[in-house]
Amino acid sequence: MTAVPAAAHCDAAASRLGLLRRAQLETALRAAEGERRFALYVQVGARQDPAARLATAQALATRHGWTVVDRAVDNTGQADPATRPQLARLLAAARRREIHGVLAASRDDISDDDGMYEAMLEQIRTLGAGLALASEENVL
């Protein structure tokens, strides 16, 4: 029996999570009527400027013709996404059907931990929304 290299395991997890995220996003977009409304979301360190990450996320919205109705920044670093106030605010907006999804620059804006990331995908799915990323899960 041969061991699976850690990098291969990480790539497999990233691929699986990417497929899950894209399927959920497609489902949310198919259910949307009219314009597709998104909120940009990034998380940064305490002294980090979010402008470049927000611009990256905005570029994806522009390419797809999605309407950006809100922008949110948490400066908690890699804290559990369930404890971030601005992300919670956007999830509440999704619950109220004010947005169809959250658009982030990369998976790192949600979590670099597979379990936490998957839990957040499930929470977003239960709200009938999707998560869009400017960079795929396997791009750091």
- Pair 34, 99: CB distance under 8 Å: no
Q: Which residue has the higher pLDDT, 40 or 7?
A: 40
Dump pLDDT digits (tens) for 112-134.
899 999 999 999 999 999 999 99
Token digits for 114? 């597979």
The whole-number pLDDT of residue 4 equals 47
Residue 5 has a pLDDT of 53
Query: Which CATH number, 3.30.1360.200, 3.40.50.1390, 3.40.50.620, 3.30.9.10, labels domain 6-133?
Result: 3.40.50.1390
Q: What local confidence, expressed as pLDDT, does residue 139 receive?
A: 59
Q: Looking at residue 31, what is its pLDDT?
A: 92
Distance CA 133, CA 28 (A): 14
Domain assignments of the chain as residue spans, ordered by start: 6-133
